[in-house]
Each structure stands twice: as C-alpha cells, then as structure tokens.
C-alpha cells in the first residue's frame, strides 16, 4: 500500500519519496520459491527508483521483511515492483529501456538524471527477459551476415530472420568461423533448422560450408548486394592500376575524378559525372571495358527464368574471362564457382533480395558504431538484441508509447 508521499532533500537534490507499507496481517512471499511464508524479521529500509516526475527523481521506500520459509529457510521477501538486489523498479527499467531504443544510452542517462550504467542494467534486464520469452517457431527464412567490431579488428556473425513481415536479429556470435555458425545451429536445434526453407548469405566460405551441411532442404541464396560489392572492388582495382600506369607513362590524366562515374549505376549519375563518363567511353581503356562488363552484368537481375539467367551467366563469364583484365576475371571465376547459388535467387522468385539482410545489417553497424561505452562483447550483444531483436517486453500495467 502507498503511504505518505513527500519531498525530501538528498545530496543537494530534491526528490519525491513514496513510502510503501505491507497490508496489515499480510503474509510475505519467499523470494526463493514465490510461496507465502510467515514473517521472520524486518531488514533495513530500501529505496527503489521509480519513473521521474516533473523532473524530480521518485523513490519507493520500503522496509523489507525476511520470511521463515518451510522449504527454503530464512529468505528476503519478494516484492512485486523489483527483482533481487536491484535498485531500479521494473517499471523504471522498462521506461529507460524504451527510451534507449530512441536515444543513445548516454542521452537517456542525462535526460532522466541517471547513470549510463543504470541504463545499461535496465536494457540488460529487458533484453534478458525478452530472450527468455521470445517465440522462435515458424521461422522459414534466415539471413547470415557479418559485421566488423572492435575498430574493425574482430567480426561478429549475425543471423536474422527474414520472413516476409517478420524480420529481426535472432542470434549473434563472436567471429565468423565454421565454429561460430555451427554454434548457431546447435542453439537453434534440429527441428527448427529443418523448418528453414531459405538461407541468404554472402560468399564467405565458412558460412557456405555450414549452411550446406545444416540446411540440406533449404534454398541457399547468395546475396545480390555482396556480388555487386565484389564488382565495385574489382573496378576500383583496375582503375587505380591504370591511373598509375598512365601517369608514369606520361599520358593525360583521363581517369582523374572518375571513380564514382565507374562505380555508380549509370541512371544514378549526376549530370557532371555523366559527361565525364561519356568522355571516358570514347577511349579504349581497361577501366572502361571493366565498367561495361559490370554494367552488362546488371541485366542478370532482370531475368525471371533461372534457365535464361543461367545462359546469360555462361555468356557473360566467357566474355569476362576473355577480357584479360585480372580483377574482372577474378569476379568471373567467383561467379562461376557460385553459379548455382546465384541462380537460387531466381528460384526463390526474388522473394528475398539483399535489401532485407542489408537493411538489418546496416542498422546493426550503426548500433555498434554509436556504441560509445560498449567495450565488452556482452555490452554489444545487449545493445544489438535491444535494437534489432524485436523482443517481447514484460507485461506492465502502463504503456510508454
């Protein structure tokens, strides 16, 4: 029961204090087994922080009791507004975690006059609750990708659900090895893994290996985004080499400022870039030939039938191999090696484009980049599940949105 409410002065700060008392003759509840038990004695008063009001911090003050439980012995009682030794009430933790999705954790701490550490504790509690109570049934499509972490020195493997209308982070693990992804499948379990029909990933060998082994029935789709990225890298290489070569041989610097004209899709070029490109196309440069091969490859995505896409790939790779341009030949070999997986994209009727995994992964990158303060893996894990896990929250009488 709520008793007296009053303003107090503490450490130069005005606070609101709400006294809470147990109903007379009420039995306390054992925090160990959640059964009611006779009272043993009283402990010191404890303060539990509640949602701030009008800019004042609010505390519930309660004299904790101990119980003499027949099963567990002498234990501290369980209270309905907080767990264990926590100083924050469940409601306040949910409140902080809610805002920590919209603002940086530091901003939340400042806005509600609390510390970064307490915001972390709140998010951690909500995430752990969410992970325990989430439903992982009915997942038929997953995307596997990686993000760099620790200033790019380390990697995290991310597994997303990418079913239509249900996208979220379902698992993450350290590194990007065979062992990492095997750990996911061990966690996910065999019955659920058998329900997976589509897997979308990049060309990272360890992933391909594990996916092949663990999702035999599923259609494995290579992510379009990652194929395009390989092209861009190849074009960059060709251009940089040719630029240097022309310079040392004393030619006009034709390729100066040409990087984006050659990388961007033609329809997205700005007027000035388009002019530069038209100019370049008049020369028989390796960079230009590589560019034309890349542009040509884009037609692939317009195909509907896997058989015709297959024919196109055969023609394209033959031409690319004859181009005598090293980096482009490398791409062609890569395409040949993964041709069946690329074609799966058409078999899946383009249902799972790179967009979904790309979008989730970008959000993950932003979260880790803004992760000022998350030095440990545990911290990053909590932040990522909070931002991307779409986790359920504990039932509350109050909604914050």
Give contact residues for Zn ion (rule: CB under 5 A): 30, 32-33, 69, 71-72
**Phi, psi (degrees; rounded to nearest 5) at 198:** -135, 135
Q: Nearer Cβ to Zn ion, position 36 or 140?
A: 36
Q: Nearer Cβ to Zn ion, position 4 or 42?
A: 42
Q: Nearer Cβ to Zn ion, position 30 or 79?
A: 30
Q: Nearer Cβ to Zn ion, position 67 or 158?
A: 67
Cα-Cα-Cα-Cα dihedral sign, residues 395, 397, 398, 401: positive
Element (H, E) at 142: strand 141-149
Q: Nearer Cβ to Zn ion, position 84 or 250?
A: 84
* Least separation in angstroms between CB 69 and Zn ion: 3
* Least separation in angstroms between CB 38 and Zn ion: 11
Q: Is 270 left (phi over 0), alpha (psi -120 to 50) or beta?
A: beta
* Least separation in angstroms between CB 35 and Zn ion: 6
Give the pair of three-digit tokens for residue 303: 């195909």
Q: Nearer Cβ to Zn ion, position 77 or 145?
A: 77
* DSSP state, residue 127: H
* Least separation in angstroms between CB 224 and Zn ion: 57
Which residue in 162, 172, 78 sits closest to 382, CA to CA?
A: 172
Q: Are 112 and 54 in contact (CB under 8 A)?
A: no
d(CA 258, CA 321): 24
Q: Nearer Cβ to Zn ion, position 72 or 280?
A: 72
Helix axes 306-322, 339-347, angle to 10 degrees: 150
* DSSP state, residue 38: -
Q: Nearer Cβ to Zn ion, position 84 or 165?
A: 84
Cα-Cα-Cα-Cα dihedral sign, residues 196, 200, 203, 207: negative
Q: Nearer Cβ to Zn ion, position 27 or 104?
A: 27
Give the pair of three-digit tokens for residue 345: 């994209």
* Least separation in angstroms between CB 80 and Zn ion: 16
In order of 138, 151, 313, 391, the CA distances from 374 in angstroms are 32, 12, 45, 20
* Least separation in angstroms between CB 203 and Zn ion: 55
* Least separation in angstroms between CB 39 and Zn ion: 13
* Least separation in angstroms between CB 30 and Zn ion: 3
* Least separation in angstroms between CB 70 and Zn ion: 7
Residue 360, classified by CB atoms within 10 Å of its CB into exposed (0-12), middle (13-18) or buried (19+), is buried
Neighbours of 265 (CB within 10 A): 10
Q: Are 68 and 37 in contact (CB under 8 A)?
A: yes
């Amino acid at each position: 029961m709520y008793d007296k409410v009053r303003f107090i002065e503490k450490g130069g700060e005005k606070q609101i204090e709400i006294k809470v008392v147990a109903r007379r003759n009420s039995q306390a509840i054992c925090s160990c087994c959640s059964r009611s038990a006779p009272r043993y004695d009283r402990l010191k008063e404890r303060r539990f922080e509640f949602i701030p009001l009008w800019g004042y911090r609010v505390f519930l003050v309660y004299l904790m009791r101990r119980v003499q439980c027949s099963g567990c012995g002498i234990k501290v009682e369980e209270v309905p507004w907080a767990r264990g030794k926590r100083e924050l009430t469940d409601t306040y933790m949910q409140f902080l975690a809610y805002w920590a999705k919209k603002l940086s954790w530091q901003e939340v701490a400042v806005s509600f006059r609390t510390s970064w550490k307490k915001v972390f504790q709140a998010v951690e509690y909500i995430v752990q609750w969410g992970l325990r109570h989430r439903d992982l049934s009915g997942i038929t499509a997953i995307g596997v990708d990686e993000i760099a972490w620790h200033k790019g020195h380390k990697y995290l493997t991310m597994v997303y659900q990418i079913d239509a209308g249900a996208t979220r982070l379902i698992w993450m693990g350290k590194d990007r090895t065979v062992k990492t992804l095997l750990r996911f499948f061990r966690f996910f379990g065999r019955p659920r893994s058998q329900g997976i029909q589509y897997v979308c990933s990049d060309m990272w060998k360890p992933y391909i290996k594990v996916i092949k082994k663990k999702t035999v029935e599923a259609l494995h789709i290579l992510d379009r985004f990652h194929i395009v990225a390989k092209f861009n890298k190849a074009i960059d290489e060709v251009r940089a080499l040719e630029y240097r070569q022309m310079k040392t041989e004393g030619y006009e610097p034709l390729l100066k400022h040409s990087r984006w004209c050659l990388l961007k899709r033609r329809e997205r070029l700005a007027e000035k870039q388009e002019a530069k490109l038209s100019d370049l196309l008049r020369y028989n440069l390796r960079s230009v030939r590589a560019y034309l091969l890349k542009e040509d490859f884009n037609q692939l995505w317009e195909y509907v039938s896997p058989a015709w896409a297959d024919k196109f790939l055969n023609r394209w790779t033959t031409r690319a191999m004859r181009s005598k341009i090293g980096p482009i030949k490398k791409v062609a070999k890569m395409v040949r090696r993964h041709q069946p997986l690329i074609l799966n994209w058409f078999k899946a009727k383009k249902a799972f484009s790179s967009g979904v995994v790309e979008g989730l992964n970008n959000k993950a990158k932003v979260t880790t980049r803004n992760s000022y303060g998350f030095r440990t893996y545990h911290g990053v894990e909590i932040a990522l599940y909070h931002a991307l896990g779409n986790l359920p929250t504990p039932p509350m009488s109050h909604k914050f949105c």
